[in-house]
Amino acid sequence: MSIKDFIIVKKLGSGSFSEVFKVKRVSDNTEYAMKKVKLAALSTKEKENALNEIRILASVVHKNVIGYKEAFFDEQTNILCIVMEMADGGDLEGKINQAKKLKSFVKEDKIWHIFRQMLEGLVALHAEKIVHRDIKCANVFLASGGGVKLGDLNVSKIAKQGIM
């Protein structure tokens, strides 16, 4: 795989050393989220975190954790690309900000629905002894069908002695 196998549809967000895009794979028009990590700007520890994210994503298959598809390194740009399931409903932070802007409320049953799925995602991670370590609204992704998925696992750790 290479970057040439994907068409960038739009930018979804950015962090200090990475950007996330909605992409479409050329071969079958399937949409994914692609995280592009600029390796040249990273410290050794941050590079380890990026590789750790790939390992953890690849090891967990659960409906409430963003699905890993593939990863590859683009030598021309020195960018690590992580291809993941696309949650086309945005993130929880965006949903909250939209409600604030409209001066509206998210219904309580919807909040419980989201919270329950977040917990199910955490249970799945903890069953694999994975600690997310960065739970926040921007890392809770919403699918158009009502699904909720935990993502952005780059600072996650595998607990050596289990999780209490």
Average pLDDT, integer, range 144-163: 88
pLDDT of residue 17: 84
Q: How would residue 54 be classed by pLDDT, with cut points 50, 70 and 90?
A: very high
The helix/strand/coil state of 109 is helix
Closest among 74, 75, 57, 76 to 66, alpha carbons compared: 57
Average pLDDT, integer, range 61-82: 94
3-state secondary structure 54-80: HHHHHHCCCCCECCEEEEEEECCCCEE
Encode pLDDT of 88-118 as tens digits.
999 999 999 999 999 999 999 999 999 999 9
pTM for the full model? 0.90
Note if 88 is an active site residue: no
pLDDT of residue 67: 96
Please tell me which residue in 5, 74, 88, 134 is annotated as part of the active site. 134
Tell me 110's DSSP state. H
